[in-house]
Amino acid sequence: MTLLGRKIAITGAGRGLGKALAIVAADRGAIPILLGRSPDHLTAAREAIGERVNLFPDAFRCDLADFASIADAAQRIARQHPDLDVLVHNASQWSSGALDDQSDDSIAAVIDSTVTGMIALTRHLLPLLRARPRADIHIVVSMSGLQYARFVGSSLPFRAAKAAQDGFSQGLVEELKGSNIRITSIYPGLIDDVSPLDSAWETAREIGDGLSNKDVVDAILYALAAPPNVALRQIVIERTKSEFLA
30 contact partners, CB below 8 Å, separation of at least 6 = 3, 4, 5, 6, 7, 8, 86
Beta carbons of 223 and 232 less than 8 angstroms apart: yes
The pLDDT tens digits along the chain (246 residues) read: 679 999 999 999 999 999 999 999 999 999 999 999 999 999 999 999 999 999 899 999 999 999 999 999 999 999 999 999 999 999 887 777 788 788 888 888 889 889 999 999 999 999 999 999 999 999 999 887 777 666 667 788 888 899 999 999 999 999 999 999 999 999 988 888 999 999 889 988 899 888 899 999 999 999 999 999 999 999 999 888 776 555
Task: Please name the residues in contact with 198: beta carbons below 8 A apart, sequence gap of 6 or more.
Answer: none
Range of the domain at 139: 7-237
> How many structural domains are present in the chain?
1
Check: pTM over 0.95? Answer yes or no: no
CA distances to 4, 97, 104 from 101, in Å: 47, 6, 10
Q: Is residue 175 part of a domain?
A: yes
CATH code of residue 87: 3.40.50.720
Residue 204 maps to a domain: yes
Tell whether 72 is covered by a domain.
Answer: yes
Residue 245: inside a domain: no
pLDDT digit string (tens) for 131-165?
999 999 999 998 877 776 666 677 888 888 999 99
Residues 38, 43: Cα–Cα separation, whole Å: 9
**End-to-end Cα distance, the chain:** 38
